[in-house]
Amino acid sequence: MLFHTVTFIIFFAITVTMLLLLRQHSTQKNVLLVASMIFYMWWNPAFILLIAYSAVIDYFVALRLERTEGTGARRGLLLISLITNLGLLAFFKYAGFFEHNLLYAFRAFGYKPNWADLHIILPVGISFYTFQTLSYTIDVYRRQIKAVHSFRDLALFVMFFPQLVAGPIVRASDFLPQLERPTKMKFDRQSLFLFMRGLVKKALIADGVSMFADAIFKNPSGWSSAVIWLASICFYVQIYCDFSGYSDMAIAVARMLGYELTLNFNRPYFATNPSNFWRRWHISLSTWLRDYLYIPLGGNRAGTWKAMRNLMLTMLIGGFWHGASWNFVLWGGLHGLALVVHRGWRHVTEGARPALDRSRLYHLVSLLAMQYFVVLTWIPFRVLRTDHMLYALKKFVFFDGNLHLADMGLGALSTFSTLVMLVVFFTLHVYANHVGGIENQLARMRPLPAAILCLLMGAVIFLFWPTVDAPFIYFQF
Amino acid sequence: MARPQLSETRTTFVMIACLIAGVAIGIASMTVIFPLAPTELSRTGVLMYALHHRSDAPPVIVLGNSVVMNGVDAHRLGNGQSAWNFSSTGQELSESMLIVDALPRSVHTVAIGISPETVARNQTTMPPNKYVGYVMGGYSPSPDAIAVAKRLHDQTLYKLLRTNRVRVVMWSRWVVRAMADLLARRFLRKDLDLERARTDLYFPAPYTQPVSAAALEHLVAANYSDYRQRFVAQSDPAALLKGIKDLAAARGKRVIFFVTPEHPQRRMRSSAEFYAEFAQWENKARAEGLDIVDFHDALEAADFVDHIHPGGHGTTRLTELLDLNLKRAGS
């Protein structure tokens, strides 16, 4: 069920009506849990059993962890949770990948095994809810939070439908306390306009520019550097609007239901260095990786080389989290390398830092260099076939100077509407950065102008909404 | 005295109501915007208007995709103004069926351009966007056309023809984006005669000038990367061809299918087996009553303006060949 469909609006209206009718806090949580299960089962009913299985294991593991004192026993309990959750993730997401790689390895040594391909369906949202439920048991193990005694509350934390399939990855320490206090639904303009912001990002901009990127990257061979650049910028805009649009809608829907989710994006395309980028992009994942992987690996406490190793490892695993393909590992590796280089650069320029921080030119060059790198690294993320990826990377890095676009068959690829959407995106992006969030500004408007604006927005959204609903990119992760 | 403020929740619901009202205005405006919007597919509306409102429909109608738009000059078919070229950009076989379904009584022969892919691709429907063009142009599928679609294994076309009008109006919003893209095409391809492609009922050729050698090389590489090894006919497209023929025959019209010319670069990227198997299928289809003529190798490289479209001498040659076959068929 997609947020930007009529089905979801009907589902949401029914859920809200039920919550308004059934005022008792406990009953409301039951309603939310049932609604969350229906939301997930809409895609494939059978896979609800996987989430339920994870939740049951983690529920009992956490309760035992709370009562257990011995370090060895506590480690054993944590291991049960890790094996259960990561085992399911490994099987459903990575088994096919390992099988293919094993097959390549066998072939390299001249052995040709005759086994059938594994055709495993990837359960929607498995990467997200696995990390979410893992954070719960790890936090209980670290005694940072107490175990939940209500299974219903834990199940609701894992399955809460606004963030179930594509995040933000919510921490138990942030969400579980919210289940303790009575729900106070927030139907305010800020939530409404946040949802509209997400809708515009997804339905108008991301889906609007995706057609061009898809058409070029389906087979980039033969296209000039100018076309590859345009397609790369389209994907750069598409993936941000698609994913952050989903997050905006998820946060808005949760807020309407009375729950606060963590911020997932903070204008990452204004980042001026890799470290800054990862503090702004997919914040819930990057902080998860920091707290549950980078720091336990030693973080930056054990010297420069180990800190760099830890950074690389964290980013390689973060890349692999996105998908079972070497492309995502490469993408993560490139970002890891950028973080390492940036750390080195900061070390080298430490003395000149105050002057550099004051320099507008340095800031501008940093911004352009960082965004060039981000666009470049989206190519291996988007173009999965190796020969196509290498061709696109070559054309992107070594500009061929061919600006001839006239009769290359671009006319049929929604070129102009794509360019219009790019201009709309960059204008809104810069403006939003300037005013500190368009939805906040809209929420402060007087009712009459705001109502007129809503009327116009309704018409514009309808007219520019593509007739085919595209799924969210991050659903595949 | 200050007026009391509406509560935040009530104000939010007013905003939601305004958004819904805006959507309703958008939907209502489509019936006005659609006919006025110049798009690549607004030719459909022009064709539907001609079929429904002009009393001078000629006895012969030529249908097909942009190869036919560029390759057949209906002025030169038969005796002057005796034919219309109702081909359109990317016209699918199912679209040709809708046009056949809407033809007036005065038309007695329909020539439809096809390619081996028409039968090899298991594609018997059309994008909803295109169907919108027909419905908004006044077309309503007859029970006969619906029956043809119902007989196909793939029920997508049948479902499309049964779509209610409100949904079709909702879909029609694609023209807003398409208008913008047409502007881009006008900017990028100054050599294209798009107004003629939209409105001309006889020779709507948009591609008037040959592309450069470099562009041709790129287009061939980008579009003909697949080597056509074997030809395998699919049952649904073959059934649709027969369905169109029967639909027309029930109304006293004859249908001639002509295989459009292929660029030599395309032919070089196809095996001899491919064409032999295609010829076998043609013979089988002829034995089953379909009237098929094959011009796939009728033109040389110099007869094309790009990797697909005939132009200049190519158009003259294809028109002559079609004319000859129409005369043989008694049209």
Q: How far apart are CA B87 and CA B70, in angstroms?
A: 9
- Comparing A49-58, A78-87, A297-306, B83-92, the range with the smallest average pLDDT is A297-306
Residues of B in contact with A406 (CB under 8 A): 188-191, 215
Within-domain flag for B2? no
Under an 8 A CB cutoff, do B180 and A420 touch? Answer: yes
pTM metric for this prediction: 0.79
- Give the residue numbers spanning the domain of B195: 11-328
Which residue, among B310, B293, B137, has the nearest Cα to B210 in the 3D structure? Answer: B310
User: Which residue in chain B has the smallest CA separation from A189?
Assistant: B12
Do B11 and A416 count as a contact with CB atoms less than 8 A apart?
no
| pLDDT band of A116, cuts 50, 70, 90 | low
The CATH code of the domain that includes B68 is 3.40.50.1110
Question: Which one, of A201, A194, A186, lies nearest residue A16 by Cα?
Answer: A186
Q: Give the residue from chain B lying closest to A212, CA to CA.
A: B181
Pairwise CA distance, residues A357 & A349, whole Å: 11
User: For the stretch B176-194, what's the b/e string if a residue is b when 16 or more beta carbons lie within 10 angstroms of its beta carbon?
Assistant: bbbbbbbebbeebbeebeb
Mark yes or no for CB contact A219/B225 under 8 Å.
yes
Residues of chain A with pLDDT > 70: what percent?
95
Interface test with A, best of B9, B13, B16, B19 (most A CBs within 10 A): B19
Residues 6+ apart with CB under 8 A from B45: B34, B35, B133, B136, B137
Task: Name the band, by pLDDT with cuts 50, 70 and 90, for residue B3.
Answer: very low
**What is the count of structural domains for chain B?**
1
Q: Is B119 within the bounds of a domain? A: yes
Of the candidate ranges A225-229, B117-121, B219-223, the one whose mean pLDDT is the lowest: B219-223
DSSP conformation class of B62: E
The pLDDT of residue A245: 92
The whole-number average pLDDT for the span A176-187 is: 85
Give A476 to chain B, closest Cα distance, Å.
Answer: 26
Whether a cis peptide bond, with omega within 30° of 0, leads into B128 is no
Residues of A within 8 A of B22 (CB-CB) are 454-462
Instruction: Indicate if the pLDDT at residue A466 is higher than 90.
Output: no
Q: Do A409 and B219 touch (CB under 8 A)?
A: yes
| Cα dihedral sign, A122-A123-A124-A126 | negative
pLDDT of amino acid A408: 58
Q: Is B177–A464 a contact, with Cβ atoms under 8 angstroms apart?
A: yes
| Stretch B171-181: mean pLDDT | 81
Chain B hits for A414, CB-CB cut-off 8 Å, are 177, 181
**Among B177, B208, B305, B308, which would you mutate to test the A interface (most chain A Cβ atoms within 10 Å of its Cβ)?**
B177
Whether residue B107 has pLDDT greater than 50: yes
Select the residue of A191, A417, A459 nearest B25 (Cβ to Cβ): A459
Q: How confident is the model over A97-110, as a mean pLDDT?
A: 81
B30 falls within a domain: yes
The string of pLDDT tens digits covering residues A325-380 is 899 999 999 999 999 999 888 888 888 888 888 888 988 999 999 999 999 999 99
Distance in angstroms (rounded) separating the CA atoms of residues B160 and B158: 5
Cβ <8 Å between A222 and B221? yes
Nearest CA in chain A to B20: A458
At B104, phi and psi to the nearest 5?
Answer: -75, 170
Q: Is A82 exposed, middle or buried (0-12, 13-18, 19+ CB in 10 A)?
A: middle
Which residues in chain A have their CB less than 8 angstroms from residue B188's CB? 405-407, 410-411, 415
Give Cα separations from A73 to A61, A70, A147, A149 (angstroms). 11, 5, 16, 20
Q: Where are the alpha helices (DSSP H) in A22-70?
A: 25-41, 48-67
List, by residue number, the catalytic residues of A.
Answer: 322
* Residues of chain B above pLDDT 90, percent: 45
Higher pLDDT, A405 or B206: B206
Q: Residue B281 has what pLDDT?
A: 94
Spatial separation of the C-alpha atoms in residues A214 and A184, rounded to whole Å: 43
Sort out which chain A residues have CB atoms less than 8 A from B215's CB and list them. Answer: 404, 406-408
Using CA coordinates, name the residue in chain A closest to B34: A463
**Amino acid letter at B104?**
P
Alpha helices in A200-325 (DSSP H): 207-218, 225-257, 274-278, 283-289, 304-322
Inspect the interface and report whether the beta carbons of B222 and A221 lie closer than 8 Å.
yes
Give yes or no for a contact between A342 and A275, defined as CB atoms under 8 angstroms apart. Answer: yes
- pLDDT exceeds 60 at position B5: no
CA distance A224 to chain B (A): 10
Nearest CB neighbour to A455, from listed B18, B215, B221? B18
Give domain status of residue B154, yes or no.
yes
User: Is residue B168 one of the residues assigned to a domain?
Assistant: yes
Which residues on adjacent β-strands are paired with residue B112?
Answer: B63, B257
User: What pLDDT was estimated at residue B106?
Assistant: 85
Chain A residues in contact with B211 (beta carbon < 8 A)? 407
Please judge whether B181 and A411 are an interchain contact, meaning their C-beta atoms are less than 8 angstroms apart: yes
Residue of B nearest to A448 (CA): B15
Q: Are B173 and A467 an interchain contact pair (Cβ–Cβ within 8 Å)?
A: yes
Please tell me the distance in Å from A67's CA to the nearest CA on chain B. Answer: 45
Least CA distance to B19: which residue of chain A? A458
CB–CB of A192 and B225 under 8 A?
no
**Chain B contacts of A458, Cβ < 8 Å?**
18-26
Mean pLDDT across chain B: 86
CB-defined contacts A:B, below 8 A = 139
Q: Which residue of A has its CA nearest to B8?
A: A188
Has residue B182 been placed in a domain?
yes
Q: With bands split at pLDDT 50, 70 and 90, how would you rate the model's confidence at B298?
A: very high
Provide, as residue numbers in chain B, all residues whose Cβ is less than 8 Å from the Cβ of A212. Answer: none
Shortest alpha-carbon distance between residue A313 and chain B (Å) = 39
The answer to whether residue B294 scores a pLDDT higher than 90 is yes
Asked whether residue B6 is domain-assigned, the answer is no
User: What average pLDDT does this structure show over B69-96?
Assistant: 86
Q: Are B188 and A411 in contact (CB under 8 A)?
A: yes
User: Using the beta-carbon criterion (under 8 Å), do B174 and A464 form an inter-chain contact?
Assistant: no
The burial of B80, by beta-carbon neighbours within 10 Å (0-12 exposed, 13-18 middle, 19 or more buried), is given as exposed
pLDDT of residue A464: 83
Residue B82 lies in a domain: yes
Nearest residue of chain A to residue B192 (CA atoms): A407
Q: Using a CB-CB distance cutoff of 8 angstroms, which residues of chain B are in contact with residue A255?
A: none
What's the pLDDT tens digit per position in A2-18? 787 888 889 998 998 88
What is the mean predicted confidence (pLDDT) over B275-288? 93
Give the lowest-confidence range in A211-215, B132-136, B189-193. B189-193
* Cβ proximity of A286 and A168 under 8 Å: no
Q: List the beta bridge partners of residue B270.
A: B228
Question: Mind telling me how many Å the CA of B20 is from chain A's nearest CA?
Answer: 6
Question: By a Cβ cutoff of 8 Å, what residues of chain A touch chain B?
Answer: 187-189, 191-192, 196, 208, 219, 221-223, 404-412, 414-417, 419-420, 447, 450-452, 454-467
Task: Identify whether the C-beta of residue A136 lies closer than 8 Å to the C-beta of residue A154.
Answer: yes
Residue B327 pLDDT class (50, 70, 90 cuts) = confident
Q: Mean pLDDT, to the nearest integer, of A226-253? A: 93
Q: Please give the pLDDT value at position B1.
A: 37
Contacts of A191 in chain B (CB under 8 A): 12
Q: What is the pLDDT, as a whole number, of residue A275?
A: 92
Inter-chain residue contact B173 with A415, CB threshold 8 Å: no
